[in-house]
Amino acid sequence: MVTARKHELPRLSYNFDELEPHIDAQTVELHYSKHHQAYVDGLNKAEEGLAKARESGDFALVKHLKKEIAFHGSGHILHSIYWENMCSASNATGKPKGNLLSAIESKFGSFEMFEKEFKSSTAVVEGSGWGVLAVIDGKLEILTIEKHQNLTQMGAIPILVCDVWEHAYYLKYQNKRPAYIDGWWNVVNWANVEERYEKSLN
């Protein structure tokens, strides 16, 4: 019997209300315990299905299973990064330092120009998706993703992700996605982004 590895919700390093006033406690609680949990459950279910298919040699549902794994798996990974990419506003430093700051400045001209491009790109993602700062072959790139898995580039390592599905902001910001992105920017945990950047280069 082939058993698939079970995925679990990651622990948060802050309480639901610690991203206030930028991201409200009710949104964080629902987003984490309902939405993210659903991706974890969907991924586990699809992986069990795939394990059964491998066991029986019956791949009739393989197209469906691979789509489910791409959707829920990407959702689980991106949310796991999203939670770690944030910290309470009182702990937020406003911008990165060190190698990441230098890399941002040399790629985008300045931190302010990077901020403008990241926010502009993320605000106009069609429908549900993500704004992403990624490292591709050692170079920084701003990407956008539709849903969790469309428009991605193979080989990209996400180091900063902003969830712009409506469930991430609608209770507090309604249709004002740019205002949510501005609020989210105030709780970015740049130390975590720096750590992910350094790891991406190894």
Give the residue among 46, 49, 19, 48 at the shortest CA–CA distance from 32: 19
Taking the complex as a whole, how short is the minimal distance between the CB of residue 171 and Mn ion, in angstroms?
A: 13
CB closer to Mn ion out of 50 and 78: 78
CB closer to Mn ion out of 165 and 190: 165
Q: Which residue has the CB atom at the shortest distance from Mn ion?
A: 163
Taking the complex as a whole, how short is the minimal distance between the CB of residue 170 and Mn ion, in angstroms?
A: 11
Taking the complex as a whole, how short is the minimal distance between the CB of residue 3 and Mn ion, in angstroms?
A: 28
Give the residue among 71, 85, 100, 74 at the shortest CA–CA distance from 161: 85
Phi, psi of 150, deg, nearest 5:
-95, 145
CB closer to Mn ion out of 107 and 121: 121
Give the residue among 160, 164, 170, 171 at the shortest CA–CA distance from 87: 160
* Number of Cβ atoms within 10 Å of the Cβ of 155: 9
Provide the 8-state DSSP code for 198.
Answer: H
- The DSSP H or E segment spanning 103 is helix 98-108
Taking the complex as a whole, how short is the minimal distance between the CB of residue 168 and Mn ion, in angstroms?
A: 5
Binding site for Mn ion (CB under 5 A): 163, 165
201's tokens? 């280069």
Q: Answer yes or no: are the C-beta atoms of 146 and 127 closer than 8 Å.
A: yes
Taking the complex as a whole, how short is the minimal distance between the CB of residue 75 and Mn ion, in angstroms?
A: 7
CB closer to Mn ion out of 28 and 104: 28
CB closer to Mn ion out of 68 and 163: 163
